[in-house]
Chains A and B, each alone.
Chain A
Amino acid sequence: MYPGFSLHDELQKLVDIVGFRPMAAYFGRESEFGSLEPGQTADLVMLDANPLVDI
């Protein structure tokens, strides 16, 4: 068990072992959100530079 990673591992186990489903799958909207892919809705911005260098 690795501190900082274990929460993610636990969530994965809840899906794989207990049968919980990611929310997007639960609502039948996997084509809209729930994965990190171009075109998906997400509260995430990926940059190829450090914004702290020149904000």
Chain B
Amino acid sequence: MRTTPDEATFLAVAAEAKRRHLPFAAHPIGTPRSMISAGLTSVEHFLAFPPLDALTRTGRRALFDKMVEARMFYSNTMVNLDPLLLPYEEAKKRVEDSTGVVDPRRKHVCAYLIDDWREQVEEGKSAPYEPFRKQLPNLYRDFREMREAGVQFLVEATSASC
């Protein structure tokens, strides 16, 4: 589940998935504990945002231990954070860099993805994700502590997580 209007809908879908014995992967919604108890198979990007600063390290560990116990996987797809935080002018330069001068990988991207990328860059012109940057260090802390607790990570991406 990529988007959901509210937590009640999310929990209803989770309950139905459980009833039918289906794996259920979703973007995070609600509290970490409610996602764990809902039986989510894997959570995408982060377990909680803003990061789990309100909890002590011991409190976070207890939460991550619950994830392990519930066999809940974590798919953080960190690679999608970089483009969100790239300044508009720099992103635009890369999109128009058809010969791969700025980044040689650019020339391997097909035309329809470039069109989509161009659209996304324009949508992000006002830097809506900039406040996110300040949260990154603590978000990364949460990732590391999850690994230390033994949470199983899935490498990219949402659609493959089930």
Bitwise, A1-41 to B at CB < 8 A (1) or not (0) is 11111110111011001111000000000000000000000
Number of residues on chain B facing chain A (CB within 8 A):
22
B residues in contact with A3, CB < 8 Å: 109, 113
What's the count of A-B pairs with C-beta under 8 Å? 49
Contact of B98 with A by CB under 8 A: no
List residues of B (47-82) whose CB comes within 8 Å of A's CBs. 76-80, 82
CB contact between A17 and one of B103, B109, B140, B156 (< 8 Å): that residue: B140
The answer to whether A1 touches B83 (Cβ under 8 A) is yes
B residues in contact with A7, CB < 8 Å: 155-156
CB contact between B79 and one of A10, A18, A19, A20 (< 8 Å): that residue: A10
CB contact between A1 and one of B80, B143, B147 (< 8 Å): that residue: B80
A residues in contact with B108, CB < 8 Å: 2, 4-5
The answer to whether B79 touches A1 (Cβ under 8 A) is yes
Closest beta carbon of chain A to B102's beta carbon, Å: 12
Contact of B88 with A by CB under 8 A: no
Bitwise, B144-158 to A at CB < 8 A (1) or not (0) is 101110000101100
The answer to whether B109 touches A18 (Cβ under 8 A) is no
Closest beta carbon of chain A to B96's beta carbon, Å: 15
For chain A, the bracket of interface size reads: 10 to 19
The answer to whether A6 touches B109 (Cβ under 8 A) is no
- Tell which of A3, A4, A5, A13 has the most Cβ of chain B within 10 Å: A13
Contact of B105 with A by CB under 8 A: yes
List residues of B (92-125) whose CB comes within 8 Å of A's CBs. 103, 105-106, 108-109, 113
The answer to whether B153 touches A14 (Cβ under 8 A) is yes
Closest beta carbon of chain A to B43's beta carbon, Å: 15
The answer to whether B143 touches A17 (Cβ under 8 A) is yes
Closest beta carbon of chain B to A1's beta carbon, Å: 5
A residues in contact with B80, CB < 8 Å: 1, 6
Q: Lowest 6 A-B CB distances belong to which pairs?
A: A2-B105, A10-B79, A13-B78, A18-B143, A6-B79, A9-B79
Which chain A residues have a beta carbon within 8 Å of chain B's beta carbons?
Answer: 1-7, 9-11, 13-14, 17-20
